[in-house]
Amino acid sequence: MDFSGFLLIISIIIISGVVAYLGDVLGRRIGKQRLSVLKLRPRYTAILMSIITGVMIATITLAILTVASEDVRTALFGMRELREKLDSLNYEVKQRNTELDVMRKEAENFQKRIAELEQKEKDLILSRSQLESQVEILNGNIHDLVEQRNSLNEEIQSLQLELRRTQETIVAIRQGEIVFQEDEEMLRGLAPAGLAREEAENYLLTLLQRADELALRRGAGQDSSSQRAVFVMGDNFDQALEKLILSQNQTVIRLVSALNTLKGEPVITRFLLDDNKKIFAAGQLVYQKEVSVDSDQSNVEQILTEILSELNTLGVKQGIIPQRGRIGLVSALNLTDVSRQLSQLSDQVLINAIAENDIYTIGPLRVRLEIVKDKVP
């Protein structure tokens, strides 16, 4: 409670006490003097004065409160208006509550909508990420396809070039202008083991020099800038050099034509290297075949031809390098002698092929044919 309220209460108490005192004094006088008011008996007049005093106390109290407090004035004279305002405010509060409920529902709907939109946004982000991944994959596929297209274009150009060269080769073959065919062996050599780099390089260069002379004799042409007729393709020379240096055995070195070479063109070649391994020892049985000689000896030549062909096949399987398409080698004297002996027979016989000397990878498969009349069971 503030000081003004406390002062108001004190004032009301004092005034009420003064009024009560004055009423008491007035009542006693009237009682002593037996005065009458409004023709009432003195006793009733005293009672009336007490009533009037009480009314005055109440009136003065209300008057003071009314003057001093706006709330009291409102409670005494503006209650109806206050009640109407209160009813109006209650009605407005109800409306606001109703609006608030509607707004809450709308807010809930908005929250649901926001949650749906956020979920859609997440889905869109995920879809975007997936699409970006697909785009990257497609870009990679496009890159691969471009590389494949370029590779195919290069292959097409290479095939067109090869086709043109093949057509030129066919024409040249018809005209007899091929000096070296593809994979045709130009020459071969047997290099010793343990060559130093300089020795190995000189060995290969010597082979190339000999091949150059051979190519010119066969009708190949020289390059205008280097005046050479034989070239080694790519890094084949360096690869052959390294293999020759590292080899611990004798090495068979062949220089072959990498392409069909037309007359007047330089020869593109490549080196082929193989270890010169021992395949058969001298006197070793290399081959054996049981044959049946016809009664009229008409199949003798066929028998010998088949034996020579099978010897070539055997040599290839054993790793002997062919030379001019042949591996097996039988002396003319031995072949004539075997043919004569078969011509005198008309029964099944066993023919052995015996190695005449040690046979290595470099070849040839030099053998001696022998007829065993009493065949081995």
The domain of 258 spans 184-275
Q: Are residues 258 and 212 in the same domain?
A: yes
Q: Decide which of 275, 302, 336 is a domain's last residue.
A: 275
Whether 193 and 243 have beta carbons less than 8 Å apart is answered as: no
Cα 166 from Cα 177, distance rounded (Å) = 13
What is the Cα gyration radius of the chain?
67
Asked whether residue 246 is domain-assigned, the answer is yes
Are residues 246 and 287 part of one domain? no
| Domain membership flag for residue 243 | yes
Cα(187)–Cα(321) distance, integer angstroms: 12
Does one domain contain both 260 and 286? no
Low-confidence ranges of the chain (pLDDT < 50): 174, 376-377
With contact defined as beta carbons under 8 Å apart, do 196 and 287 qualify?
Answer: no
Domain presence at residue 228: yes
7 DSSP assignment: H
Are 250 and 291 contained in the same domain? no
Cα-Cα-Cα-Cα torsion 259, 260, 265, 268, nearest 10 degrees, comes to 20
For residue 58, give the H/E element and its range.
Answer: helix 42-68
DSSP reduced 3-state for 284: coil
253 occurs within a structural domain: yes
State how many domains the chain has: 2
Position 213 scores a pLDDT of 92
**219 with 271, same domain?**
yes
The backbone torsions φ and ψ at residue 200, rounded to the nearest 5 degrees and listed phi first, read -65, -40
Res 377: pLDDT: 43
Domain boundary at 236, 255, 275, which?
275
Q: Are residues 284 and 213 in the same domain?
A: no
Measured at the alpha carbon of residue 365, what is the angle toward residues 359 and 367, in degrees to the nearest 5? 100
Asked whether residue 298 falls in the same domain as residue 366, the answer is yes
Which residue type is seen at 238?
D
φ, ψ of residue 10 to 5 degrees: the values are -60, -40
Percentages of the chain per state (helix, strand, coil), in multiples of 5: 60, 15, 25
Task: Verify that 209 and 258 share a domain, yes or no.
Answer: yes
Strands 178-180, 261-262: pairing is antiparallel
| Residue 44 resides in a domain | no
Angle at 106 between CA 105 and CA 108, to 5 degrees: 65
Residue 39: predicted pLDDT: 66
271 & 282 share domain: no
Are 249 and 308 members of one domain?
no
* pLDDT confidence of residue 323: 78
Q: Has residue 231 been placed in a domain?
A: yes
| Final residue before a domain boundary, out of 275, 302, 320 | 275
Q: Are residues 356 and 339 in the same domain?
A: yes
Assigned domain for 332 exists:
yes
Residues 223, 289, single domain; the answer is no
Question: pLDDT at position 159, please?
Answer: 83
> Does residue 96 sit within a domain?
no
